[in-house]
Amino acid sequence: MIIQTNQSDFSTLFTAFDAKTLLERLRELETISTNNSKSYETSATTQSLDEKTRNILPIHRLTSHQTSEYALTNWLISLFNMLFSEQKVELVRGEQEPEYFPAQNGKPARIEFAHGFFASALHEISHWCIAGEQRRGLNDFGYWYVLDGRTKAQQQAFERVEITPQALECLFTFACKRPFKVSQDNLFANFDTSTSTFSYDVHQKVIQYMTTPQTLPRDAKVLLRALLTINYRNN
């Protein structure tokens, strides 16, 4: 049984002003990056990213029949695969548990998210953004995963490695103008979880990224800037 305490409030963490400020900072960082001849350059430079996203409909303007999980994930799949096509990676709708498959035999890497859920897609993208080149060459990025029903020690280890990906997922979610809910993934815990600081830790990590966006992983900057550009275009 889970005791839901120590839950931080994410509902007021990200305002339209925050979105505008963060987008401006990400554009500045991209300009600095592209002016540095030694920096890594993605397929989505400042100018081309704005051009590529100009005709993409903001997610909150999709019609009612387009806001199903299937339609929302189609929207995200198209955007992600367009942004990162040169990295030979594809976001793929999965039918079961999420899994990452590295590129092999000339085929691109696959990020499969769980059961076609939009939130799962953002979460798995977050793991990909964090993973370095070496981990991107390993199944599931070389991480371990123990299903719900973990021991207290296993849960604590799980929460330690989930702070950063859930913080990125939170920012991606906010950039889509959708509510975020932190997940301890422990519905079947048989120990007291009231002392967990996980929600607070994720909350603080989000604030850190918002105030120092230069610390965001490289590809997270690209996706976050694209999402903010599309969904906050007229704010």
Domain definitions of the chain by residue range: 16-231
CA distance 79 to 91: 10
At 60-97, the pLDDT tens digits run 888 666 668 889 999 999 999 999 999 999 999 988 88
CB 158 within 8 A of CB 108: no
- Tell me if residue 92 falls in helix, strand or coil: strand
CA distance 160 to 147: 16
Q: Is the pTM of this model over 0.85?
A: yes
Comparing 153 with 210, the larger pLDDT belongs to 210
The number of residues in the chain equals 235
DSSP assignment string, 36-81:
-TTS---S--HHHHHHHHTTSPPGGGS-GGG-SHHHHHHHHHHHHH
Confidence at 206, pLDDT banded by 50, 70, 90: very high
At 136-165, the pLDDT tens digits run 999 999 887 766 667 878 888 888 999 999
